[in-house]
Structure 1
Amino acid sequence: MNIASLCRWKLEDVLTTSTVVPQLQALIQLQDISKIVFITLEDIIDESASRLTLHPVLLHNKVKWFPVSSFQTKSRLGNQVADFIMGCKKLRQIVREENIQMVIAHGAPAGAVAEKALKGIKLPYYVTSLEPHANYMLQSKVWSRHGLKYKFQKRWENLQKKNAAGLMPVSGKYKAALIREGVTAENIFVVPCSVDADMFRFNKQQRNSLRQQLGWQDAVIGIYVGKYGGLYYKEEAFAIYKQCFSIIPGFRLIILSPHPQAEIIQLLNQQQIDISKVYIASVAHGQVPPYLSAADFAFATIKSYPSARFCSPVKIGEYWANGLPVLLTAGVGDDSDIIQNEGGGALFNLQQEGSVERALEKIQAIISNPEHRREIPKLAAKYRSPRKIKEAYTYFFSRMEKQV
C-alpha cells in the first residue's frame, strides 16, 4: 500500500518533530505499507541531505519526502489561501503520480486540504492529531467568529467528521464530543500526543552539570517550554512566575521559548522579577531534555477556554517522561483529570482566589517526595506511549480490509 502523509508544518517545526515523526515511525513498521510520500509546507525548498538527517525516519527506504513551497507575499491571509489551493493541487498530483491508495492528514488544517483535494476521488483519508482547531482559535481570541479563517476551517472540520474514513482525536473527551455530534464510534480511535520516553528520561548527570553551569545547585527550578500568547497565557504566566518567587524559597526559572527574548525580558520586568534569577533560551527540540532534568517542576500555562478540554499538549507528556510534576490549568484535555485522580502535578484556576498558591503548595509537597522522579514517568508510559499510534493504524487498516 502507498500512503500520502500530509503535514502542514515545516520539516523543522517542533510540531512536526513531536507529533508527525512518531506517526511516520509507526507507519514504516507496518508490513502492508510499501511507500510513504511525506508532504511538508516549506518557506524555502531545500532538499539537501543535511535536512533529511533532522529526522532519521526520512532516510528509511519506504519514505519519500515531498516539500511544497509556501507563498511569501505581504498578505498573510492571501498566502494562506494560496497555500491551501496549492496544497490541494499538489496532493492530487501526488495521488496520481505515486499511485497513492490512502491519505493520512496530520491535524484538522491538513484534513481540510485532504477533504477538498480528494472530493470526487474514491480514496480514503484519515485525520490524526485531531482537535477542534477552529474553536481553539475562536475561544482563545486569535480568530473572529465572523472571519473567513474561522468560517472556512469550521466548515472543513464538519466535512471531515462526515467523510473521513477514520478520526484520531487526541483526547477521550473529544471522542465523546464527536460521538454526541453523530460520528460513528467505530470511526474513532483516541491517540494522545506521544512522547519518546527514552529521549526525555531523567538524567542525573545532565541535571548536576547544568545546575552547576547556572550556579543554581541548591535552587528549586521551575521550567516552561513553549510559546506565549494565542492558546497560551502570556501576562498571566509571568504573574504566576512572580508568585513562585514569592512563595518558593530559592526559586529559579528556566524559559525555553521561540518568543522574542526582548519581549520576555519586558514581561519579567513588568512583574519586577530579577532577571539574574531567570535563564532564557530558544533551543531545538532535541536539546530540551537536559533542561528538564535540571528542573524540579514544570509549567503548562494553557489558556482556560471550553475547547481546551479536547487538547493533548505535547509538553505535558515530555514533562511527565522526565519525572516533573506539572502546574497545569484546570480543564485541559484528559490530563487535568489524570492529575486530579492519579497525581503528576497540580491544577490551578485563575478565576478562583488562592488557587495558584494552593497548587504551588501541592507541587512543593510532590517534589519533597524522593520517589516522585521515578513515579511520574509511569503516567507518560501509561497515557502518552507511541504504542497507541500503531494500535490505531492496526485497528483502522484491519477494518479497511474487512470492508474490501
Structure 2
Amino acid sequence: MTDSLGQSQVISYLEKIAKKGVDYHLISFEKPEVFEKKRPLVEARIKDSSIVWHPLPYTKKPPVLSTLKDINRGWAKIKELQKEAPFDIVHCRGYIAAILGQRMKKHWNTRFIFDMRGWWPDEKLESGFWNSPVYKPVYAYFKSLERQFFKSSDVTVSLTYAGKDEIVSKGWKGADGIGVIPTCVDFSIFRAFSEDTRTKVRTALKIPLNAKVLLYSGSLGGNYKLEDFVEVYKAFRAVAPEGYFLILSKTEPEPVLQFLEQSGVDKAHIVITSADYNEVYQYIHASDVGLIIYSITYSVIGRSPTKLGEYWAGGIPAISLKGVGDLDLIMDKYPQGGILVNSLNQEELKDAFSKLLNSELVDREYLRASAIDYFDVRMGVEFYVGIYNKLCEQTI
C-alpha cells in the first residue's frame, strides 16, 4: 500500500467503499525500504474508516522461496483473523493473493474474488524476468493456477474487455462470472489543468515555458523497452526540435540516461525525476503529450494503462501503439483523446506528433470530461459494491 499503485488502485477504492458499510481487513506485503517512510500516509488515509490494515514485510530474495515464505506468512495472518470473525468475502488483487483466496474458499467456503490485474505469468515471461529455463516450471505452475482461479472464483475481474473475451473464448469461465473495470482515477487527487502549476513545475525543472514536453509516467525496462523510447523521442524531437522528454519514474536515472545517450539522443533535453502519487498531476500539467508504451505481446490484452486516465484528467492527449488492452475501443469512443500508431515507424510517429502538438486541437475540458466518463473511481466503487452485495446475497 506504500507504493503509488497501492494508493491509487487499492486505497482510493477501499476508503470510499468502506463508507458504504463494508468492513475490511487489508493484508499487504510492504517493501521495507519504503514502508516506514510512507506508512504514515497510508495510516492517515484510513484512520477514520472501517479498514484495518495488516502490513507484512515483503521478501524478494531468493526468488521463488521468498514468495513461498510470504504466502505462508499471509496464511498465518489469515488463520489468526479468521478466528476472530469469519469473513464473508476474500478479494484478491493478483495471483499470489489468489493462492490464499482459493485456500480460504476451500477451508471455509469464503466467497472468492480473483481480481487478476492483467496476465501476470505472461508479463513475467515476456518481460524477460522469467526467461531462464529455471523459470519454465514456475511459469507452467502459475498458468495452471490461473485456470484454477478462473474455475474456483465466484467472480473473476478483468481490467479489459479484451481479457474477458480471451477467457470466455478459451472456455475458462463463462461470461456471467467475469466483471470488467479499468484502472480508475481519483479526480480529487488528479486535478484539472492549471497554468500556474504548469509554470511552477517547468521553472523548477528548468524547462522553457514555450517548449513542447513529452511525458512518460511509469516503469522502465522489462515490457517497457528503452529502445522503443529512443524511437519515440527521435520522432518527437524531429517535430519539436527544442522539445523536452520528461520521464516520471522510480527507476534509477543514470543507467537510463546512459543508454539514451549511447543511442544518439540529446541527453540535455531529457529530465528524469520521481514524485509521490499525490504530486503526479503537477507534472502532467507541465506537459503537452503523454506517452503509453508496451511491447505488443500476448499479455497486453489485459493491460489497462493507469496513466491514460491520469493524462486526460490533467488535460493532455496520449500517444500509444494499437492493440493494447481496450485502447482501440477507448480511442474510438473519445477520438480527441490521442493517437494510436500501428508501429514505431519514424514517419508515422512524426505525423502523430505533428497533430498532437498542435495546441489548437487540444481541448483540455473535453479530455477531463472523457476521463471522468470512463475512468472515474466512483464507477469502480459502485462496481465492487455491486459484486459484494451479490455475493453476500448468495451466501445468505
Change (3 A) 1:151 1:262: same
Q: Cα deviations across residues 130-186 of structure 1 (Å, max 9, x unaligned)?
A: 322122222333324862331222122211111111122111222222222242323
Does structure 1 retain, via aligned residues, the 8 Å contact 2:215–2:287? Answer: yes
Kindly indicate which of the two structures has a greater share of residues assigned to helix. Answer: 2
Give, in whole Å, the separation in 2 of the partners of 1:185 and 1:262. Answer: 47
CA-based RMSD: 2.5
Aligned-residue offset at 1:389:
1.9
Give, in whole Å, the separation in 1 of the partners of 2:119 and 2:145. Answer: 11
Gaps of 5+ in 1: 1-10
**One-letter amino acid of the counterpart of residue 137, structure 2:** L
Q: 1:18 maps to which residue?
A: 8
The DSSP-based 3-state class of the residue aligned with 2:296 is coil
Q: 1:241 maps to which residue?
A: 233
Which runs of structure 2 are paired with 1:34-183 in the superposition (5 Å)? 35-44=23-32, 51-54=39-42, 56-71=44-59, 73=61, 75-128=62-115, 130-144=117-131, 147-180=136-169, 181-183=171-173
TM-score by length of 1: 0.88
Q: Cα deviations across residues 261-283 of structure 1 (Å, max 9, x unaligned)?
A: 11121122123333322221122
Aligned-residue offset at 1:352:
5.3
Does structure 2 retain, via aligned residues, the 8 Å contact 1:26–1:389? Answer: no
The DSSP-based 3-state class of the residue aligned with 1:76 is coil
Q: 1:346 maps to which residue?
A: 339
Aligned-residue offset at 1:259:
1.4
Q: 2:20 maps to which residue?
A: 30
Q: 2:190 maps to which residue?
A: 200
Aligned-residue offset at 1:334:
1.1
Aligned-residue offset at 1:86:
2.4
Q: Cα deviations across residues 43-96 of structure 1 (Å, max 9, x unaligned)?
A: 4499979723336432124111101123365x2232122222322332233223
Give, in whole Å, the separation in 1 of the partners of 2:188 and 2:94. Answer: 25
Aligned-residue offset at 1:316:
1.2
**One-letter amino acid of the counterpart of residue 165, structure 1:** D
Give, in whole Å, the separation in 2 of the partners of 1:43 and 1:57. Answer: 19
Q: 1:373 maps to which residue?
A: 364
Does structure 2 retain, via aligned residues, the 8 Å contact 1:108–1:132? Answer: no
Give, in whole Å, the separation in 1 of the partners of 2:85 and 2:38. Answer: 25
Aligned-residue offset at 1:225:
0.9
Give, in whole Å, the separation in 2 of the partners of 1:297 and 1:66. Answer: 39
Q: Cα deviations across residues 288-328 of structure 1 (Å, max 9, x unaligned)?
A: 11111010111111111123122111111111111111111
**Number of matched pairs:** 389
Change (3 A) 1:381 1:105: same
Which runs of structure 2 are paired with 1:329-344 in the superposition (5 Å)? 329-343=321-335, 344=337
Give, in whole Å, the separation in 2 of the partners of 1:318 and 1:90. Answer: 35
Give, in whole Å, the separation in 1 of the partners of 2:30 and 2:172. Answer: 36
Give, in whole Å, the separation in 2 of the partners of 1:50 and 1:338. Answer: 34
Does structure 2 retain, via aligned residues, the 8 Å contact 1:257–1:282? Answer: yes
Change (3 A) 1:382 1:205: same
* Same amino acid, percent of matched pairs: 23
Give, in whole Å, the separation in 2 of the partners of 1:55 and 1:226. Answer: 25
Change (3 A) 1:164 1:60: farther
Does structure 2 retain, via aligned residues, the 8 Å contact 1:253–1:278? Answer: yes
